[in-house]
Structure 1
């Protein structure tokens, strides 16, 4: 007889961007090392490392931006935006003609 299921525990979500960035940084070191071992010049290996580092930085920035956008979408699903023309209550109107009592009325 299987054990009864318990409520899922709240585990922290893994930081996938950091994991990807860590592996990319490892590759930025590994690839030039392998190139030098196979006889490529040191200057070419260094330029390869710099190119990989630039691509890694750009990808990291894009992944972080994507995470922020996804978090924003999740937040909007929880509390949806009321829209451009929604009214929040009395007195929330903008524009139009108002008689505030400051002008004389005949």
Structure 2
């Protein structure tokens, strides 16, 4: 008897989609290591290199959270309601809305 196929073996013509957020985070983590090494090699102090590494790691973590949140929001299904502009009594229509005022007179100051 043969073993059941795993999800990846069941559809070999459809490889899993690459995750662009993970790629960005991977490169950022690489930079968090590479930048302090380059700083040390170029003569910067150990404290400065470590401070840079900590700062880059913090920025990377915040960006990861924001990217994942953005990805989750984009993946949510759209609500059933349409977001049509409201046409209430406070919305201005016609030429008065473009002129910026209620006066129908010309460009002369009121006197």
- Same fold per superposition (TM over 0.5): yes
- Normalising by the residue count of structure 1, what TM-score does the alignment of the two structures yield? 0.61
| Greater relative contact order, per chain length (Cα 8 Å cut-off, separation 6+) | 1
Cα distance in structure 1, aligned partners of 2:61 and 2:81: 37
1:1-106 counterparts in 2 under 5 A?
10-72=14-76, 75-76=77-78, 80-81=79-80
Shift of 1:13: 1.7
Q: List gaps (5 residues or longer) in structure 2.
A: 1-12, 83-111
Distance in 2, Cα, partners of 1:28 & 1:71: 29
Question: How many residue pairs get matched?
Answer: 70
What value does the CA root-mean-square deviation take over the aligned residues?
Answer: 1.6
Q: Can you give the 5+ residue segments of structure 1 that lack an aligned partner in the other structure?
A: 1-8, 84-106
Alpha-carbon distance in structure 2 between the residues aligned to 1:33 and 1:18: 23
Distance 1:64 1:24 in 2: 15
Cα distance in structure 2, aligned partners of 1:23 and 1:16: 11
In the TM superposition, structure 1's runs of 4+ consecutive aligned residues that sit over 4 Å from their partners are none
Q: CA deviation at 1:11?
A: 3.7
